[in-house]
A and B are shown apart, each in its own frame.
Chain A
Amino acid sequence: MRLALELILFPGFAFCALAGMVLSWLDRKVTARVQWRVGPPLLQPVYDLVKLLGKETIVPRDAFVFLAAPLIGLAGVTLVGLLVGQATLRPDLQTWGDLIAVAYLLTMLPLGTIIGAAASRNPLASLGASREMKLVLAYELPFILALAVAVIKADYALSLGEILKVQWRDGIAASSLSGTLALLIAVLVTQAKLGLVPFDMAEAETEIMGGTTIEYSGAPLAVIKLTKMMLLFVMPALVATLFLGGLRLDAGAYGVGMGALKVLALAVVATLIRNTNPRVRIDQALRFFWGPVAILGFVAVVCATLGY
């Protein structure tokens, strides 16, 4: 019962959705300010989603898979939000290996995207799906290496709560050399996982017209957009938890404020990266993640094992 409540309301679906909407508004507002514009009003994400609920939903012949695919991603992101939230609220909760669960659950969103795009029978969508697939292959290796650094720093604990507690005891992971490198990698991977420029080739609006989401309209598109917004909160929250000490409840208002500030800062960094970079090609992204970023990851892991 308590778990169901946590899943649906706080810190699960409803909270992540709300925080994600605020952050997505912030993303658009900061983008507008960077471009010297005014930008959309605060309720813009709400208008966007409510509007889509009133639109016609056009489906291809394989309607079931097409409509179920966005829900796979939504479920994955909600569960990650729940796990991160639970670890923050109750770090003493006995969980073993929820970090591994997080790593798996985060791949459910690209999985759902790929299935949905393939089911839509649009050539541009399948092009987007193939790019998404390659992008997942590209960023998963550095991401796992960054997670490994967080695990090694926390005395080989695989639970988010334990990682948080070690950081509260010994100082944040990013204060060490390996932690800083891992944070850098995590920020780059966040960019790719969020599908923001320079890694938005899977739904490049200007060349393949929305790519993976090209055939979606109405309510399923609203689900996809909501999932993206939630991820805009969940990914920074996860990175903040792993490397920046996350949100500390027992430190009172200061801890909560600092926690919120960390998430905010990581989200704004993602926005600034997307505003100051051009889109790269998929082969460039692959080379980037498997080359310099992966090497940096291995260096960080070695440094972490040596205690730096």
Chain B
Amino acid sequence: MGITLNALTRSLSVFHLAASPCNNCDIEILDCLTPKYDLERFGIQLIGSIRHADALLVTGSVNRKAAERLKLLYEQAPKPCVVIAIGGCACSGIMFRDNYNFAGPVDRLVPVDIYIPGCPPKPEAMIAGVAKLIAKVRGEKA
């Protein structure tokens, strides 16, 4: 593993895409940054511009309007960039899967590196998921 990739695992800049979610996952994501969990300990930061991002965080049952944006954002992100699907909707679509405007779970639109299911997933689950993702990028066993 290269030195830059090693540094990447210690300094993930996360871009949060809310692709028509119910906001529950989004609040839990913000929870990860609060004093109780403090993801900045691991160098993880939320950033505003996709050009600065190392990870694309997708929440929500992606509908047809959001699907175009999701693809566009994935193309705009500088590689290497990982995609994290947060919540049941992003992972599988759960009860929205037969909806007329449902454009498919995230992995039908862009390649997903890790799934964190739950409705919403707990902050602990997200941190565990990110830890597994980092191990995967480093080529270790989680």
A-B contact count (CB 8 A): 88
A-side contacts of B7, CB under 8 Å = 46-48, 50-51, 54
Contacting residue for A39 out of B5, B41, B48, CB 8 A:
B41
Q: Are A213 and B49 in contact (CB under 8 A)?
A: yes
Minimum C-beta distance from B72 to chain A (A)? 13
Interface size class of B (residues with CB under 8 A): 20 to 34
For A35, A48, A51, A217, the residue with the greatest tally of chain B CB atoms inside 10 Å of its CB is: A51
Q: Are A210 and B5 in contact (CB under 8 A)?
A: no
> Closest residue of chain A to B5, judged by CB?
A54
- In residues 208-238 of chain A, which contact B (Cβ within 8 Å)? 208-210, 213-218, 221
> Closest residue of chain B to A35, judged by CB?
B35
B-side contacts of A215, CB under 8 Å = 49, 51
Minimum C-beta distance from A297 to chain B (A)? 34
A276 interface residue (CB < 8 Å to B): no
Minimum C-beta distance from A71 to chain B (A)? 18
Interface size class of A (residues with CB under 8 A): 20 to 34
CA of A218 to CA of B78, assembled, Å: 7
B-side contacts of A43, CB under 8 Å = 10
Q: Are B41 and A55 in contact (CB under 8 A)?
A: no
B-side contacts of A214, CB under 8 Å = 48-49, 51
A-side contacts of B76, CB under 8 Å = 58
CA of A37 to CA of B36, assembled, Å: 7
A134 interface residue (CB < 8 Å to B): no
CA of A58 to CA of B79, assembled, Å: 10
A180 interface residue (CB < 8 Å to B): no
B-side contacts of A277, CB under 8 Å = none
Q: Are B8 and A38 in contact (CB under 8 A)?
A: no
A56 interface residue (CB < 8 Å to B): yes
In terms of DSSP, what is the predominant structure of the interface of chain A? loop
For B5, B10, B41, B52, the residue with the greatest tally of chain A CB atoms inside 10 Å of its CB is: B52
> Closest residue of chain B to A56, judged by CB?
B78
Q: Are A36 and B35 in contact (CB under 8 A)?
A: yes
Known: A205-B48, A210-B52. A37 touches B11 (CB 8 A): no
- In residues 1-51 of chain B, which contact A (Cβ within 8 Å)? 2-5, 7-8, 10-11, 35, 38, 40-41, 43, 47-49, 51
Known: A44-B43, A56-B78. A51 touches B49 (CB 8 A): no
B139 interface residue (CB < 8 Å to A): no
For B8, B51, B80, the residue with the greatest tally of chain A CB atoms inside 10 Å of its CB is: B51
For A43, A54, A206, the residue with the greatest tally of chain B CB atoms inside 10 Å of its CB is: A54
CA of A58 to CA of B48, assembled, Å: 17
> Closest residue of chain A to B53, judged by CB?
A217
For this complex, 9 residue pairs linking A to B, each with C-beta atoms less than 8 Å apart, are A32-B40, A50-B7, A54-B80, A55-B80, A58-B78, A206-B48, A210-B51, A213-B49, A217-B52
Chain B residues with CB under 8 Å of chain A are 2-5, 7-8, 10-11, 35, 38, 40-41, 43, 47-49, 51-52, 54, 76, 78-80
Q: Can you name 16 extra interface pairs (CB under 8 A) apart from A40-B43, A44-B11, A51-B8?
A: A39-B38, A39-B40, A41-B43, A47-B7, A47-B10, A48-B7, A50-B4, A53-B4, A54-B5, A55-B4, A56-B78, A56-B79, A205-B47, A205-B48, A215-B51, A221-B51
